[in-house]
Amino acid sequence: MSDTIDDVLETFAFIDDWEDRYKYIIDLGRNLPPFDEAAMTEENRVHGCTSRVWLVHDLEDGRVQFRGESDAHIVRGLVALMLMLFSDKTPAEILSINARDTLDQLGLEKHLSPMRTNGLFSMVEKIKTIAAAYQGVIA
Mean pLDDT across the chain: 92
Mean pLDDT of the region 30-45: 95
Domains of the chain and any CATH numbers: 5-138 (3.90.1010.10)
What angle (nearest 5°) sits at the alpha carbon of residue 138, between those of residues 67 and 55?
Answer: 15
Q: What is the pLDDT of residues 39-63, one digit of tens each?
A: 999 999 999 878 999 999 999 999 9
Catalytic (active site) residue 21: no
* pLDDT of the residue at 115: 86
Rounded to 5 degrees, what are φ and ψ at 100? -60, -40
Task: Write down the catalytic residue from 5, 28, 49, 80.
Answer: 49
- Give the tens place of pLDDT for each residue, 99-135: 999 988 998 888 888 888 888 999 999 999 999 999 8
Phi and psi of 17, rounded to 5°?
A: -85, 130
Report the candidate in 99, 3, 80 with the shortest Cα–Cα distance to residue 35: 80
